Structure 1
Amino acid sequence: MEDLPPYPPIDPTTFDLIVIGTGLPESIIAAATSTASKSVLHLDPNPFYGSHFSSLPLADLQAFLSSHPTSPSSGYHHDFSVFDFATRPLYSSLDISSFSPDLLHQHSRKFNLDVAGPRVFFCADKSIDLILKSGANQYMEFKSIDATFVGDDKGNLWSVPDSRAAIFKDKSLGLLEKNQLMRFFKLVQGHLAGEQGIQIFEEDLQSPFVDFLNKMGLPPKIKSFILYAIAMADYDQEDIGVCRDLLTTKDGIDQLALYNASIGRFPNALGALLYPVYGQGELSQAFCRRAAVKGCLYVLRMSVTALLVDKDTGCYKGVRLASGQDIFSQKLILDPSFMVPLPAGSSLPHPLQDKLPVFSLRDDRGKVARGICITKTSLKPNISNFLVVYPPRSLFPEQVTSIRLLQIGSNLSVCPPDMFVLYISALCKDDDQGKKLLHAVMNTLLTVPVSINSESNAAVQSETAESGCAVLDETAESSFRGRSDPGEGKPTLLWSASYIQELTLGQVDFICSTPMPDGKLNYNDLIDVTCKLFREMYPEEEFFPETSSENSEGDGDVALET
């Protein structure tokens, strides 16, 4: 232990809960548990908050995505069985290319890049309600997303008519389309309000949403807007063979209700969507600050090396830190990257069998492809912050999932002035499919310079990227090179990163594992999983009891007051 850094000892040494990792689920649970007057020790081996939900400077992002930290040997103890921790790789095919290295190096620390982008908040969704209820809004500021568009393979971005006023102003819709959409929205709003004589029958509510839209006689363009830009469906709803998540009409109507309730909830939010100033990593930090106010103890740069198990009973007792100190608790929460590798032929004590995340990466829900691009000009003149949705089949015939792109400008403090950050994501079954989806969007919207200065990390780079250049499939690369004329009006790419992230589920017991960021646009599903984890751990406690708190208002920012 002489080679380890001189960590100060932690006092006390026994807690109700130890949390490893400061990702969003872990941070929410730490805040909720501290609010329930329980003692919590929150550790993170990283020097920053947020883990897989963090917002990082340029250089730190690459280091985080390509790192595979190892823990030093943990030694033994006469009272405990000691099982060493290991970390599993959750990111693959990392490719980073810089086309203006001097400029980007000069401003590297001015970027706050989301690891799990693109992601937004609906003004009326569960995450905003939780932020308000917990008091975390005292530590965050928001601005609204200006618009939502639907894209096509020709580079067109069509405005989404998401309200009666927007339908009336939309110049891309014909009179018949406007009337059809108006009647549909009127039916949905009347059903939700319980108006006399206006309702959607139960048999329709249980049917596929796309069938209901067909029954309403809506044309393909309007159906696409509703299914993928408002209801936010992930998969091609008209192809049962590839659709892994078929929306029912009830689910679709619920999504429309959320969208509708989000418009106008806050007086200084232009539309339905919000984004936090300084990036999505602020959300984890806000809950960590809330937990600290309630007595949670925080230690960053603290690695955890081993699990401590009682030799006689086989029950979990605590963890061993990199400092060599043993810390004890009744319950433990692990970041999803932590696993317990078992030597061949060995097994865990009976009480821990099937209750630990052992070292085998289960492909629980597939993968999500994520891309980040930096440009000097906006995709849309005079608009900084907006969402673009590419419905299935809109870019190429084999595209079976929606692709989402979020552009954020410097007024949200995520990049230097006169620059823009683009986040792209799509669900995929494997790395090759994911990269094809990302490249299709980049090829459609951006000009990529011919001279490529690659910063790809060889340890995690795709096997197909042996040349050391930016990883594009042959079709995408030739298409990029063929469309590099600045006269076409496309923004020129300054820097890009693409990577594939595993989707893993959490698990619950006295040792819990939290989920990775999912492929959704908002946090609702992750909030549900996190709430379930807490209630399984502490069924007698309320998940953030109602309290009165002072809400802060930022100048020009959304004030989270209902």
Structure 2
Amino acid sequence: MSNRRPSMVERRSSINEYSTQYEDSRVSSPIPHLAGLEKPLPETIPEEVDVVIAGTGLVESILAAALSWQGSNVLHIDSNDYYGDSTATLTINQLIKWVERVNKGLINNYKNAMLYFPNNTELEYQNLIQSKDYGIDLTPKILFAKSDLLSLLIKSRVYKYLEFLPLSSFHFFENDNFEKMNNSKKNIFINQSISLINKRSLMKFIKFSINWENSLEIWNDYKKKSIKEFLQDKFKLELNQINELIFAIGLCNNDTISTPEALTRIKRYLISFDVYGNFPVMYSKYGGAGEISQGFCRSAAVAGTTYKLNTKILNYDPISKIAKLSDNSKVKINEKLIISSTQSTSFLSSSTSQTTTASYEIQRLTVIVKKSCSEWFENNESSAIVVFPTNSLKSGNKFAVQAIIMGENTEITSSNTTVWYLSTIETGDQGRADLESALESMEKSILRESKNFEEPEILSQSIKFGDDVNNNFKSGEKLQYLLKFYYIQSTSLPHSGVVNTSQYRRKNSTTSTTFNDDVLFSSLPSSEISYDGIITSVKLLYELISGSDDDFFDVDFEDEDEQDDNNLSGFNNDSSINDQINSKSINDDDNNEDDEVIDSEAVEFADDMEL
């Protein structure tokens, strides 16, 4: 079995007991199993399959499950010794090896990887790199409660392999202060910095944005203009409110984004609120995209997909349709070969430049701090979003810096530590300067807010998060960093248009290579902080393989559920979110039906926003 960080499912005592029994009952196999959830594994790679998929990233894992449930015989391999590929969740030890491979040019589309362990003793360093309490996401993302990925997780029952936690705390940085977003009617009412006239304007816009597509007369003249112009001209909103809508609610990279795209992003937040609780966003414990990838791999394995790690494609003959693998085995491919760009091999290098060119960059800075950072979280939560709008940093940032904060209850970090994921689409030295400037502001803020929480209750409740009263705060305390991790990720996907399905399809319709029509490339992870665009990427590949996406996960999973419930009775968690997802999934297998229910709830929520 591969040396990887145990997933959430594998950490449960019931799965450990089952896995032990499973290991004892099976013969040695070169194919790593996934927590013993599959049927007994074959001892050898099949000689002939319909589809080979190289790379176990999120797109590839969903595709493998979709094809397997549709009836295709799939071989799913990965050159790494862990699942997730470019969307993996790695231990510190795995991260060290990953950085070494990137800097040797062995992993495509990543560069300038740096890993730093400041101020650690040798013992602390050894404990850190050997610990499996830490799980660092290469592509950290959040999941909106109203999204196509969550709909698929419900329909496919893959959500049963996962555990979700809420995220409702959004902060944005402006005028050298952190502001907590007004994400409810109550917060807007009690915010004394907003005049009554502006409160009415803000409520008016929120009501409009729920069904903005049906109010063409309001926004049509701004179709090719920026959202900032639209909000200023049509709703007379002030700059801080505009920034909050664009950068915190819309999670846009800049304020020049087109009005239709920004409205789509803002609506995404609003219709996700109160679907499963008083929050718009959730995330999976024990890791993000890497954990969800493993969930779909389990689903694919149950449907018959064969898995093998530490294996890559050495060559492919388009005439005989035979691929040679690094373990010296050969497999005939009847239909398609799908390759993740990070798994690309030399025999394809001359033929893929036109279709896999990574034209866009994402700079990422991940740190682990020795502090709980609970001041940033809502009650009973362990995560937050922090955004830095354009021109809000000392570095003069032209693009937003976005940060996802994950505390110890996310199970990706140890007690009293927190992981900060920062990212920007800015390029070159400016991008790194923006990240460092944002990190400096966050450090100053959390030390200041920690001091506030120690003050008498009447004082701590009388000031806003990061109010001007604290601007001159200076602390003798230093924030201890256990790890700093920087790298540049390339992508072939534009930074805009991801949330608009039709626009995304137009921009990313070409995925085949000039080498042969039987060879397809999956798209690289985008800069989008959410999972939007993932399902569209999968369906584009699925259509090229199957001819259409009409039967995409068109499976009645109720029969499978009966068998799963017998085998996994002890595996499902008791979290309220999963319980609500389960109750919604019982009668909502039709995705369109589910959309109507959620949309109507959102409209009612908006209608209640009268002042």
TM-score by length of 2: 0.71
Distance across 1 between alignment mates of 2:254 and 2:547: 35
Is 1:122 equivalent to 2:144 in the alignment?
yes
Asked if the contact 1:367–1:428 (Cα under 8 Å) also holds between the matched residues in 2, the reply is yes
For 1:46-195, what aligned pairs fall within 5 Å after superposition? 46-67=80-101, 89-98=108-117, 99-101=119-121, 102-103=123-124, 105-107=126-128, 108-117=131-140, 119-152=141-174, 154=176, 156-170=177-191, 172-189=193-210, 191=212
**How many angstroms does 1:149 deviate by?**
0.5
**1:247 aligned residue (232, 253, 258):** 258
Going from structure 1 to structure 2, the CA distance change for 1:512 and 1:191 (only over 3 Å counts) comes to closer
Asked if the contact 2:78–2:343 (Cα under 8 Å) also holds between the matched residues in 1, the reply is no
SS in 1 for 2:218: coil
Asked if the contact 1:426–1:434 (Cα under 8 Å) also holds between the matched residues in 2, the reply is yes
The equivalent residue for 1:365 is 359
Structure with higher strand content: 1
Going from structure 1 to structure 2, the CA distance change for 1:152 and 1:32 (only over 3 Å counts) comes to same
**How many angstroms does 1:394 deviate by?**
0.9
**1:277 aligned residue (265, 270, 285):** 285
Asked if the contact 2:364–2:489 (Cα under 8 Å) also holds between the matched residues in 1, the reply is yes
**How many angstroms does 1:420 deviate by?**
0.6
For 1:216-365, what aligned pairs fall within 5 Å after superposition? 216-237=235-256, 246-248=257-259, 250-267=260-277, 270-280=278-288, 281-304=290-313, 306-310=314-318, 315=319, 317-329=321-333, 330-341=335-346, 356-357=351-352, 363-365=357-359
Asked if the contact 1:7–1:323 (Cα under 8 Å) also holds between the matched residues in 2, the reply is no
The equivalent residue for 2:489 is 501
Distance across 1 between alignment mates of 2:320 and 2:344: 15
**How many angstroms does 1:510 deviate by?**
2.0
**How many angstroms does 1:337 deviate by?**
1.7
The equivalent residue for 2:464 is none
Is 1:487 equivalent to 2:505 in the alignment?
no
If asked which structure has higher relative contact order (CA below 8 Å, sep 6+), I would say: 1
Distance across 1 between alignment mates of 2:275 and 2:359: 33
**How many angstroms does 1:65 deviate by?**
3.3
Deviations 1:455-478 (A, max 9, x none): xxxxxxxxxxxxxxxxxxxxxxxx
**How many angstroms does 1:341 deviate by?**
3.4
**How many angstroms does 1:385 deviate by?**
0.9
Asked if the contact 2:368–2:483 (Cα under 8 Å) also holds between the matched residues in 1, the reply is yes
**How many angstroms does 1:261 deviate by?**
1.3
SS in 2 for 1:289: helix
Q: Which amino acid aligns with 1:145?
A: L
Distance across 1 between alignment mates of 2:492 and 2:292: 21
Q: Identify which range, 178-187 or 201-210, moves more after superposition.
A: 201-210
Structure with higher helix content: 2
Is 1:519 equivalent to 2:527 in the alignment?
yes
Distance across 1 between alignment mates of 2:111 and 2:237: 41
Q: Which amino acid aligns with 1:335?
A: S
Asked if the contact 2:102–2:113 (Cα under 8 Å) also holds between the matched residues in 1, the reply is no
Going from structure 1 to structure 2, the CA distance change for 1:490 and 1:184 (only over 3 Å counts) comes to farther
- Size of the aligned set, in residue pairs, is 474
Distance across 2 between alignment mates of 1:548 and 1:322: 36
Asked if the contact 1:406–1:422 (Cα under 8 Å) also holds between the matched residues in 2, the reply is yes
Deviations 1:213-244 (A, max 9, x none): 0112111101101111112211341xxxxxxx
Going from structure 1 to structure 2, the CA distance change for 1:219 and 1:491 (only over 3 Å counts) comes to same
Asked if the contact 1:190–1:199 (Cα under 8 Å) also holds between the matched residues in 2, the reply is no
**How many angstroms does 1:364 deviate by?**
3.3
Q: Which amino acid aligns with 1:538?
A: S
Distance across 1 between alignment mates of 2:155 and 2:198: 41
SS in 1 for 2:183: coil
Is 1:21 equivalent to 2:61 in the alignment?
no
Is 1:554 equivalent to 2:573 in the alignment?
yes
Q: Identify which range, 531-540 or 386-395, moves more after superposition.
A: 531-540
Q: Which amino acid aligns with 1:213?
A: L
Deviations 1:422-481 (A, max 9, x none): 101111233x23211211111222279xxxxxxxxxxxxxxxxxxxxxxxxxxxxxxxxx
Distance across 1 between alignment mates of 2:283 and 2:423: 17
Going from structure 1 to structure 2, the CA distance change for 1:489 and 1:199 (only over 3 Å counts) comes to farther
In structure 2, runs of 5+ residues without a counterpart are 1-28, 32-42, 446-470, 494-507, 566-570, 585-611
Q: Which amino acid aligns with 1:128?
A: L
Asked if the contact 2:491–2:524 (Cα under 8 Å) also holds between the matched residues in 1, the reply is yes
Deviations 1:504-529 (A, max 9, x none): 35723421111222111111123212
RMSD value, Cα: 3.1
Going from structure 1 to structure 2, the CA distance change for 1:172 and 1:374 (only over 3 Å counts) comes to farther
Asked if the contact 1:21–1:335 (Cα under 8 Å) also holds between the matched residues in 2, the reply is yes
Distance across 1 between alignment mates of 2:434 and 2:343: 29
Going from structure 1 to structure 2, the CA distance change for 1:296 and 1:410 (only over 3 Å counts) comes to same
**How many angstroms does 1:211 deviate by?**
1.9
Distance across 2 between alignment mates of 1:406 and 1:416: 17
**How many angstroms does 1:171 deviate by?**
5.0
SS in 1 for 2:434: helix
**How many angstroms does 1:326 deviate by?**
1.0
The equivalent residue for 2:38 is none
Distance across 1 between alignment mates of 2:212 and 2:339: 44
Deviations 1:341-371 (A, max 9, x none): 36xxxxx9xxxx99x425x996533210111
User: How much identity, in percent, do the aligned residues show?
Assistant: 23
Asked if the contact 2:149–2:534 (Cα under 8 Å) also holds between the matched residues in 1, the reply is no
Q: Which amino acid aligns with 1:212?
A: F
TM-score by length of 1: 0.77
Q: Identify which range, 251-260 or 551-560, moves more after superposition.
A: 551-560
The equivalent residue for 2:537 is 529
The equivalent residue for 2:228 is 210
